[in-house]
């Protein structure tokens, strides 16, 4: 019934089709059983794929979110792991010492036109020698072995709390941390940009609130960080909020820093301590 409401043109797009598709997006976040059911429905899957190219932002966002849960997250993660392993293998090969050239005893030779450059080299005439044997250039480092510059932190947040989160970003940058944040509320390919930012970040700050918990986009970010076993710091940005459901499970082992209860300045100092604590543990 839900699939029919989302796909059948007899239903109004604004009042029936799009709300049904948003429900399907939420259902797709539940897990593999839900995503398999969606993939089995050819008509629904074709509609979702078509909507990923929609010029209507709300339709495009929902469709790309569903596709991320169905297959794109898995593909991106596999590719990220493969790239890391290949880069590690190339760096290992480059770090191995090269085999020294085999030296052979010098032969006594008659000085003639062909042996003159060698004789000139012995005399100190290096120009003639360099014409014959130009110095070899160092091997270029393969692009695959180069990793992009890492971020110290990524800020995952709901745009309903953008003021306090942007203030937090400004303070961290001022304190010389490299920080990734989505200030434009982008989507679509930004799901991959978000995942790439998580891959490159040492720590993920989760600015949690009820709106964060209700946001499917925030759920995608938080779960990807959890799947990639990233260090996370939950930061409360809503008064008297206690995480429940999927967010409560993800944050169950973490210590919260309450920016509302402590006040911004005091909480920020606690955050810096927690960041340093994680950095120190990584060095061990």
Q: CA 153 → CA 64, 178, 232, 233, distances in Å?
A: 25, 7, 9, 10
Domain presence at residue 90: no
Does residue 244 lie within any of the structural domains?
yes
List the chain pLDDT tens, one digit each, 284 residues.
788 888 888 888 888 889 899 999 999 898 888 889 999 999 999 999 999 988 888 899 899 999 999 999 999 989 988 888 887 778 777 777 665 556 555 555 555 555 555 444 445 554 554 555 555 565 555 555 456 688 999 999 999 999 999 999 999 999 999 999 987 655 546 788 889 999 999 999 999 999 999 999 899 999 999 999 999 999 999 998 998 889 988 887 777 899 999 999 999 999 999 999 998 887 76
Contact present, 231 and 204 (Cβ < 8 Å): yes
* Domain match, 167 and 255 both: yes
> Does some domain include residue 121?
no
Q: Is residue 131 part of a domain?
A: no
Q: Which of 72, 90, 111 is the last residue before a domain boundary? A: 72
In a domain, 116, yes or no: no
What is the reported pTM?
A: 0.74
Same domain, residue pair 152 and 274: yes
Please indicate, yes or no, whether residues 53 and 171 belong to a single structural domain of this protein: no
Considering the domain architecture, whether residues 279 and 177 belong to the same structural domain is answered as: yes
Tell me which of 55, 72, 89 is where a domain ends.
Answer: 72
Residues 153 and 279 in one domain: yes
Enclosing domain of residue 45: 2-72
Strands 151-157 and 179-180: parallel
Domain final residue, candidates 72, 91, 119: 72
Answer whether residue 14 is part of any domain: yes
Asked if 152 and 266 sit in the same domain, the reply is yes
Identify the CATH number of the domain in which residue 169 sits: 3.40.50.10140
Domain-located, residue 77:
no
68 and 153 share a domain?
no
**CA 262 to CA 232: how far, in whole Å?**
20
Q: Is residue 273 part of a domain?
A: yes
Give the Cα-Cα-Cα angle 198, 205, 247 (nearest 5 degrees): 95
Same domain for 271 and 181: yes
Distance CA 17, CA 77 (A): 31
Of 214, 170, 222, the residue nearest 195 (C-alpha):
222
Provide the CA 141 distance to its chain's centre, in angstroms: 23
Number of domains in the chain: 2
């Amino acid at each position: 019934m839900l699939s029919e409401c989302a796909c059948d043109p007899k239903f109004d797009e604004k009042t029936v089709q799009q709300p049904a598709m948003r429900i399907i997006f939420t259902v797709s976040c539940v897990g593999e059983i839900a995503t398999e059911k969606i993939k089995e429905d050819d008509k629904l899957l074709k509609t979702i794929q078509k909507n990923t190219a929609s010029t209507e932002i709300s339709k495009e966002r929902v469709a790309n979110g569903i596709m991320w849960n169905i297959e794109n997250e898995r593909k991106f993660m596999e590719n990220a792991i493969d790239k890391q392993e290949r880069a590690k293998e190339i760096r290992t090969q480059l770090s191995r010492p090269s085999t020294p050239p085999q030296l052979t005893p010098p032969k006594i030779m008659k000085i003639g036109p062909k042996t003159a450059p060698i004789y000139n080299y012995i005399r100190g005439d290096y120009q003639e020698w360099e014409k014959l044997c130009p110095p070899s250039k160092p091997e270029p480092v393969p692009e695959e072995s180069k990793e992009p510059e890492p971020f110290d932190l990524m800020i995952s947040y709901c745009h309903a709390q953008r003021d306090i989160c942007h203030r937090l970003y400004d303070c961290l940058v001022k304190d010389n941390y490299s920080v990734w944040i989505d200030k434009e509320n982008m989507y679509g390919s930004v799901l991959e940009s978000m995942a790439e930012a998580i891959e490159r970040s040492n720590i993920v700050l989760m600015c949690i609130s009820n709106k964060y918990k209700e946001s499917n986009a925030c759920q995608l970010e938080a779960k990807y960080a959890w799947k990639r076993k990233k260090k996370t710091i939950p930061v409360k940005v809503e008064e008297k909020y206690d995480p429940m459901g999927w967010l409560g499970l993800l944050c169950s082992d973490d210590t919260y820093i309450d920016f509302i209860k402590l006040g911004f300045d005091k909480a920020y100092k606690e955050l810096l301590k927690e960041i340093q604590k994680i950095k120190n543990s990584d060095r061990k």
